């Protein structure tokens, strides 16, 4: 077993959960009414180890939308499909140091990385463009289902409709990339953007997301089903990017002080990977000024203080 005394470990995690629950700073995202209406005090937490041990605390069975936490999975999908070289002809792999929707491209006119909006829009453009939109979306849902060990995700159509209605910045980013010829030829921008909003509007529970995170912790093999979902090299590249770019413009600080790969979303989602050990999902909607879950970041700080989970901890 990767964690031999699982009971004690779970108890310690429960303590961190209770301490973190006291934190009530930050504000829920309010750029669309569906997110503004979410109960700010919700707090779900789930763990799944690479050998399939798991536990849940709080609101771990409630649905929330993926938002930016769809980005690492879409990147893995296009990476598996096209290979490292082709993907990175369209997307960089450098932190941007800017906010997630900043109007900025790298010196080649490409998105800085796949974990900010511009890069995630590009991943959507690259994802099985030869298929119908319905099959492209089904492919994403199916992948989440497999990553979660068979839990079918939901879709929040109200969130999708709101995303689409308030999408000026994302349209601007897409046209900006189109101007610099970053997309493959024949890319339909509206289809691509709508696909991106649909991916952001997929809903999962913390429990399902922790299973997905554990697949990334386990080199792409789902611990509960044994299915190899992504190539190990794809997962390695994805984790490198989550480590350097997963927390918006707090990524450098997060890598320095906390030191493991994670990806946040403005729904308050946080997908965490402790490589070769476990996946963790946290959902708590109040956000800090970067757009990261306040309790999520707080939880990670406590986690790294109490366990040797920092990449460069001396074991
Ligand atoms: N739907 C949001 C957007 O595209 C998602 C971004 C996020 O989670 N940071 O602006």
Predicted-complex ipTM score: 0.93
More confident residue, 183 or 1: 183
Q: Which residues are annotated as a binding site for substrate?
A: 68, 117, 163, 170, 196, 248, 266
Reference 152, options 141, 163, 162, 161; nearest CA is: 141
Average pLDDT over residues 185-190: 97
CA of 163 to the centre of ligand 1 (A): 9
Reference 66, options 235, 248, 244, 268; nearest CA is: 268
Q: What is the DSSP string of 134-162?
A: HHHHHHHHHHHHHHTTS---EE-HHHHHH
* Closest approach atom of ligand 1 to CA 120: 4
What is the pLDDT confidence band of residue 1, given thresholds at 50, 70 and 90?
Answer: confident
On the 0-12 / 13-18 / 19+ scale of CB atoms within 10 A, 88 is: middle
User: For the chain, which domains are there?
Assistant: 6-306 (3.40.710.10)
Average pLDDT over residues 175-197: 98
How many DSSP H helices and E strands does the chain contain? Answer: 13, 8
Quote the pLDDT of residue 136.
Answer: 98
Quote the pLDDT of residue 72.
Answer: 98
pLDDT in tens, 129-150: 999 999 999 999 999 999 999 9
Average pLDDT over residues 4-14: 94
What is the pLDDT confidence band of residue 314, given thresholds at 50, 70 and 90?
Answer: confident
Average pLDDT over residues 66-90: 98
CA of 68 to the centre of ligand 1 (A): 6
d(CA 234, CA 216) in angstroms, rounded, equals: 10
* Closest approach atom of ligand 1 to CA 265: 8
Ligand 1 binding site (Cβ under 6 Å of any ligand atom): 67-68, 100-101, 117, 163, 170, 200, 265-266, 291
* 315 has pLDDT over 80: no
- Taking each helix axis from N to C end, the angle separating 71-82 and 232-245, rounded to the nearest 10 degrees, works out to 140
Q: Which residues are annotated as a binding site?
A: 68, 117, 163, 170, 196, 248, 266
d(CA 128, CA 192) in angstroms, rounded, equals: 11
Quote the pLDDT of residue 123.
Answer: 98
Average pLDDT, the chain: 97
| Model confidence, pTM | 0.98
Handedness of CA 91, 97, 101, 105 (dihedral sign): negative
- In percent, the amount of the chain with pLDDT more than 90 equals 98
CA of 223 to the centre of ligand 1 (A): 29
Q: Which of 102, 265, 268, 269 to mutate to test the pocket of ligand 1 (most atoms within 8 A of CB)?
A: 265
* Closest approach atom of ligand 1 to CA 196: 4
Quote the pLDDT of residue 242.
Answer: 98
Which two structure tokens, joined as six digits, stand for 71? 């980005």
Which two structure tokens, joined as six digits, stand for 237? 């590249």
* Beta carbons of 195 and 137 less than 8 angstroms apart: yes
* 268 has pLDDT over 80: yes
Quote the pLDDT of residue 250.
Answer: 96
Atom 7 (ligand 1): residue with closest C-alpha? 68
Atom 6 (ligand 1): residue with closest C-alpha? 68
* 298 has pLDDT over 90: yes
What is the pLDDT confidence band of residue 192, given thresholds at 50, 70 and 90?
Answer: very high
CA of 67 to the centre of ligand 1 (A): 5
pLDDT in tens, 204-261: 999 999 999 999 999 999 999 999 999 999 999 999 999 999 999 999 999 999 999 9
């Amino acid at each position: 077993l990767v964690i031999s005394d699982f009971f004690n470990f779970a108890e310690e995690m429960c303590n961190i959960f209770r301490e973190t629950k006291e934190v009530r700073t930050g504000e829920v995202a309010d750029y669309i009414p569906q997110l503004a209406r979410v109960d700010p005090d919700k707090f779900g937490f789930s763990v799944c180890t690479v050998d399939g041990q798991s536990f849940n605390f709080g609101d771990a069975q409630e649905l929330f939308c993926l938002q930016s936490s769809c980005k690492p999975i879409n990147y893995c999908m296009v990476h598996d499909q096209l290979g490292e070289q082709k993907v990175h002809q369209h997307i960089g792999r450098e932190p941007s140091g800017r906010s997630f929707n900043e109007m900025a491209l790298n010196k080649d006119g490409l998105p800085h990385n796949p974990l900010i909006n511009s890069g995630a829009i590009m991943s959507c453009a690259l994802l099985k463009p030869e298929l119908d939109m319905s099959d492209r979306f089904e492919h994403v849902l199916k992948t989440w289902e497999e990553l979660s060990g068979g839990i079918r995700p939901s879709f929040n159509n109200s969130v999708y409709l709101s995303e689409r209605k308030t999408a000026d910045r994302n349209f601007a980013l897409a046209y900006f990339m189109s101007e610099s010829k970053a997309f493959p030829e024949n890319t339909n921008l509206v289809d691509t953007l709508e696909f991106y909003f649909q991916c952001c509007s997929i809903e999962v529970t913390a429990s399902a997301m922790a299973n997905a995170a554990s697949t990334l912790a386990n080199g792409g093999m789902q611990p509960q089903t044994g299915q190899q979902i992504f190539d190990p090299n794809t997962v390695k590249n994805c984790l490198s990017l989550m480590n350097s770019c997963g927390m918006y413009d707090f990524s450098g600080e997060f890598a320095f002080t906390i030191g493991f790969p994670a990806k946040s979303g403005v729904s308050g989602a946080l997908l965490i990977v402790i490589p070769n050990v476990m996946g963790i999902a946290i959902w708590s909607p109040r956000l800090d000024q970067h757009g990261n879950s306040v309790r999520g970041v707080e939880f990670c700080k406590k986690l790294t203080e109490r366990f040797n989970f920092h990449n460069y901890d001396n074991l």
